[in-house]
Structure 1
Amino acid sequence: MVVFVLLVGAGVGGLIWERQSTLNGNIKRLPKSMPTGNRPAPGAKGTENWLLVGSDTRAESATTGQGNQVWKPGGQRSDTIMLLHLPADRSNAYVISFPRDSWVDIPDYGKQKINAAYSFGGAPLLVETVESLTRVRIDHFGIIDFAGFKTMTDAVGGVEVDIAQSVYDPARKVHWTAGRQKLDGEKALAFVRQRYNLRNGDFDRMKRQQAFLRALAAKAADGGTVTNPFKLNRFLGAFTKSISVDDGVSAGDLRSLALSLRGLRAGDVRFMTVPNKGSAARGKQSVVLLDPRKASALFEAVRTAGVEEYVKTNGGVNPGGKVS
């Protein structure tokens, strides 16, 4: 996911400049990955919106980046869905998580869980679904699967997270002990995928995902990755080989993005979740109902470059710290 570029901030631009051809050749482009037809108007001048997705395919080999498969109908759902909003001055970056069970309208399919959109129609349908829901124009799309996720984590030498209380994951038979934990790629994957035995289920799972990204940001920005050219080279190599992006993204775009974010630090990345009313039942399905009024206010703030004002008024930013 392109969010990893912003996490390293300063120093990335120079290396991309020097190795633009190689890095550009690593990146997998998805043909026809953006929707056609009527779309929302572009956002406020200078802002940029990326739809970032983690795929939940259980294939043994990679399916994003330089993997052999990218998408096939019914084969993958979007396990993680995040909207990365970059304000014009790049003083902050806002990562907004969508609960994967959000009950929304999927064009041509009616009411469904939002993560089904990728399974039904790949990137174009998921982007169209998010744009229809939010009326926010998505500028670019990026996706990474579990194999890429592990590679990215190991490329920075692992990350540390703080777990509030000991918990057992019955699905993966993992005991998590309260306190500071060092996660390599395999452990990080288990950490962000746990859903059962967490007090708030998928909501705690999203907090874990956000905590992991915050930890990765800190490790990449402050753990020597940026200042050490060998570490940075390894990180960017792993990143560019693991992701797939829409075919409108060029190496020049990534270089410009990195340069514009060179002053950004881990603490400037703010994590939020789309306002919702919690879980509910629809037939035999457990779903999440979004809060129309509060969610609409957030999406309006994204469209009009008013997210910082929205946060001051409404709060909702995940402050970090210990997670379940």
Structure 2
Amino acid sequence: MNELIRQAINAEAEERVDSRTVLANLHKAKKRKPLGLIVGVATLTAAAAAAAVIIPTAIKKTEAAPPAAQATQEAQNVLLIGLDDYDHTDALMLARFRADGAAMIVSLPRDILVDGQKINSLFAQDPGKLTAAVEKTTGTKVDHYAAVKMSAFGQVSQLLGGVEVCLKAPSNDPITKVSFPAGRQVLQGDQALAFLRQRHGLENGDLDRARRQQMFLVGLASQITKDKALALARGVSGSISVDDGWDVLGFAQRFTGPVGISVTTLPVDAPVERETGFGYEVDPAKARSFVAKALDEGDHSGEGGCVR
């Protein structure tokens, strides 16, 4: 499979291999691995990203591509997960990708309590537990998930030449000692990673961090083009994982360029202290109604403007 992936990349980069043959061979493979087609802004939030940004595709597409390689037309709900070095979830987004590639995304605060347990610890136990908790909280079926190591986002931003963000006021992280000025600025590498991870020193902690991740996600997605996709695929494919049953190739082929993204955040109740630590409770009925509307209609409140 790895050889097929390398062949696919070479087909795009050098145009020496018939891409139709590559696509056909990839679909014959019994076990599909992440192809680097998804560069997760898998929750481009504190530790991994806040939501998986889809790279158009690293494989050359032609009108003569075999039927099995054609884009799936149904909308799909994908859980985008950003992981720290211990596989704890530092960023979590539920995204509905429409047939045209447009994405409606709802950020889920990592400190949500589900059955008395914080949701950010579940992926390390079992990805299925995290998926089940998200479905219970939102009332929405999760079709697939994509997880990415947060550490990959510094590299992604560097490959793109930086991502522009805007802050309402200067911020200082008392833990890492990293500071950012007010106003618009272009971040990349370690600086971008520190921006996505910061929650200490912010008025609303993780909730403000989620807004930062949303801003970064939108800015990042707007820069991903077919020309840049190849370098991104080569650079970060090893940091991404998806569920075994997902035909990533077929899914990725619906994307032909930068995708339209609508972002918003799930409302939470006041924070509470439990034996398991600080967390947010969620009203199930309100949460399900909010998510259903956001995924169906979109909410552009996360786009534009400056954040804390």
TM-score (norm 2): 0.73
Q: What is aligned with 1:117? A: 122
Matches within 5 A, 1:287-302: 287-301=279-293
For residue 238 of structure 1, report the CA deviation from its aligned partner. Answer: 2.1
Q: CA deviation at 1:177?
A: 0.7
SS in 2 for 1:215: helix
Unaligned runs of 5+ in 1: 19-44, 58-74, 106-110
In 2, Cα distance between equivalents of 1:17 and 1:104: 43
Q: Superposition pairs for residues 40-189 of structure 1, below 5 Å?
A: 46-57=74-85, 75-87=86-98, 89-90=99-100, 92-105=102-115, 111-119=116-124, 121-189=125-193
2:93–2:106: 8 Å Cα contact kept in structure 1?
yes
C-alpha distance in structure 2 between counterparts of 1:117 and 1:7, whole Å:
22
Which one-letter code corresponds to 2:242 in the other structure? V
2:40–2:240 Cα contact (<8 Å) kept: no
Counterpart position of 1:243: 240
**Distance in 2, Cα, partners of 1:160 & 1:175:** 16
Report the alpha carbon displacement of residue 244 of structure 1 after superposing the two structures with TM.
1.0
- Please give the per-residue CA displacement for 1:84-134, whole angstroms capped at 9, x wherever unaligned: 1123x43631111111110112xxxxx111112123x23122112222323
SS of residue in 1 equivalent to 2:230 = helix
User: 3-state DSSP class of the match of 1:260?
Assistant: coil
Aligned residue identity for 1:307: D
Residue 281 (1) aligns with residue 253 (2): no
Give the superposition deviation at 1:275: 2.1
TM alignment of 1:32-43, pairs within 5 A: none
Tell me the equivalent position of 2:253: 259
Equivalent position of 1:323 in the other structure: 307
2:93 and 2:229 map into 1 onto residues whose CA distance is: 25
Q: Which amino acid aligns with 2:60?
A: W
Tell me, in whole angstroms, the C-alpha distance in 2 between the residues paired with 1:185 and 1:95: 25
Q: Partner of 2:285: helix, strand, or coil?
A: helix
Q: Is the 8 A contact 2:223 2:258 kept in 1?
A: no
Distance change in 2, residues 1:163/1:2 (3 Å): same
Change (3 A) 1:178 1:191: same
CA distance in 2 between partners of 1:8 and 1:84 (Å):
11
C-alpha distance in structure 2 between counterparts of 1:122 and 1:235, whole Å: 28
1:28 matched residue in structure 2: none
Can you give the 5+ residue segments of structure 2 that lack an aligned partner in the other structure? 1-37, 43-51, 62-72
The alpha carbon displacement at 1:76 in A equals 2.9
Deviation at 1:239, TM superposition (A): 3.8
Instruction: Answer whether contact 2:147 2:240 (CA < 8 A) is retained.
Output: yes
Q: Is the 8 A contact 1:2 1:52 kept in 2?
A: no
CA offset at residue 8 of structure 1?
6.2
Spell out, residue by residue over 1:3-44, the C-alpha distance to the aligned partner (whole angstroms, 9 max, x if none): 5598566xx34x4237xxxxxxxxxxxxxxxxxxxxxxxxxx
Q: Percent identity?
A: 34
Letter of the 2:304 partner, please give it.
G
Aligned residue in 2 for 1:307: 296
Which amino acid counterpart does residue 84 of structure 1 have in structure 2?
A: A
- Secondary structure at 2:175 match in 1: coil
Residues 12-27 of structure 1 aligned to structure 2 (within 5 Å): 12-13=56-57, 15-17=58-60
> Structure 1 residue 307: deviation in Å?
1.5
- What CA deviation, in whole Å up to 9, does each residue of 1:207-260 have, x standing for no partner? 01111111111222xxxx43x3xx33212222423211111234xx33x33332
Indicate the RMSD between aligned Cα atoms, in angstroms. Answer: 2.7
Instruction: Say if 2:145 and 2:242, in contact at 8 Å, map to a contact too.
Output: yes
Alignment of 1:192-211 (within 5 A): 192-211=196-215
Amino acid at match of 1:141: Y
Distance change >3 Å, CA 177–CA 264, structure 1 → 2: closer
Equivalent residues of 2:84, 2:149 under 8 A apart:
yes
- 1:188 partner letter: A
Give TM-score scaled by structure 1 length.
0.70
3-state DSSP of counterpart to 1:261: coil
